[in-house]
Structure 1
Amino acid sequence: MSYAEYVKHYFTLPDCIIFLVLALVLLAVVYAAFYIYSKGRFKNPRKMQHEFFSLTERFYELIFSGGSIIGFMAAYYLINRFVTSGAFYQFWSDYKDYLLLVFMIISILVNTFFDHVLVPLKRLDRDEMASIRLTGMLYMILIFCYIKFIYEDNNYDMFITYFLTLMIGRFVYFDASFKDFLHCIKQAAANIPIMIMGLTYLGILCLYGYSTSYLLKHNGVITNIFFCHLYIVVAIFVLHFIPEIYFKKKEKERGNRPKKKKRPKPSDVDEDVELEEIDIEILDL
């Protein structure tokens, strides 16, 4: 199949719509899980709301960071596969190792576009953002381990080595103390449940895609995983405003509720009765 035929296959109706609907439904399930967890943990509505949005934004960032990385890898794979002759092929053959670094920089810019422009993440501080991005790298390593040891595809060994190096270099540097190392690991470990949800989300999409032949095995597993991430990003863009509207409506309802009048204490009633009796005695005199 040519590149144009692959594009036509992935965007054929109604297959692409069904796949998008599945991505939207699964994201709604993620929202429900975060809501139930937040409501069970906090009784205070404001704390519960803050926890919910913290979880959702960390989930978004996990998908954005993983999707941007997998995207440039898919581009690298597709160029190697489809560009087999011509001037660009010669240029690519001579400098592809350096271009891999350029692609990495582009992926960082794409990630920044996702979390600052497409769906602005306003509730995560720098430490939280850094920790979830580190978890995102572990997320990618697990995907590559699945490809190598379960899917039994050895074409991505270079990428696995590359990202293991990046992951180690992310928190091991010359002036790092053991305390800094533990702090970094602790923050990243707190995001493991979110990472598991992301992998489950991705796994269900891949399972459905392969079972219906919407995802083509001979097109490369890395390309199919990229398409899954693309659909998840679209689902996030479509649905992310719904929790905002829901919680704003809840806040408005709480603000419009009439305030309960405080019942007088028994001691206050007794004092009022005594004062009335004193006033009556004075009038009699």
Structure 2
Amino acid sequence: MNDEAITALWHGVRLTPTQRRIAHYLSVNAATAGYLSAAELADRAGVSQPSVTRFATALGHDGYLGLRRQLRDIAAAENLGQGQHDQREGANRAQAALRAEAAGLIRLADSLADLTAVDRAARLLAASRPLVVLGLRAAAPLAAHFSYFARKILPDVRTITDGGSSLGDQLEQAHAAGASAMLAIVLPRYPRESVEAVAAATAIGLGVVGLTDSPVSPVDGRCAVSLVAPVGADLVFDLHAGPLSLATVLLQAICDADPGQTQDRLEAFDASAARRQLFTL
């Protein structure tokens, strides 16, 4: 499914948090959402039926039926998407989900034809001493993964993967130590603490780079730079190949922001690893 065709439906429209939940559901279930009733869409998006009607009205329709027709037209134009094609060919659920994820990576690659946002984010993060990396709940493994490699090229990376009252303390301590930026990885179901941490970091003067899954994520628009990579929602638990790939692209851009420093630090790490016999190869 063409993500741009779906997100264009609400481009420029100021959505409420509830309407953002509906928009997010549509963005990841566009091929089938046009065949749901208003009540079914409300149930799956976790909102009330009147909220669905108000969402349709906010997009310029007289009611939900007009929006549903538009969703069906988009789905028909896209031949109902790769996932349904796989089902017609007899693919099992795992194959269909992974092929949809592969198609999502191709769309992500297409969206990176212009690397302006990635390069801007890289410069912001590379200049921060220390660099703060936030990832709570489902985003915690990706935050740890990013931080592991970032430490090979940056002198001080502080990872926050636990919430609670100490989260604010960690942000303030990092800022006091000289931090100027934070990478905030915020994935569905968008922990409230993550959204609040983005606001808190911005309030104390940190430039926040948001890595999230959708233009209607609750942190998109609240960050100095927003990078978007869709997650796969075809299995019980989300597939995160897109955010992981984009995080690695961002690491490459950080390397490219100061290639001399990157080379020096990587060589120093390799010498240390050899001395300590860290690896078998």
Larger radius of gyration: 1
Structure with bigger strand share is 2
**Greater relative contact order: 1 or 2 (C-alpha under 8 angstroms, separation 6 or more)?**
1
TM-score, normalised to structure 1, is 0.34
TM-score, normalised to structure 2, is 0.34
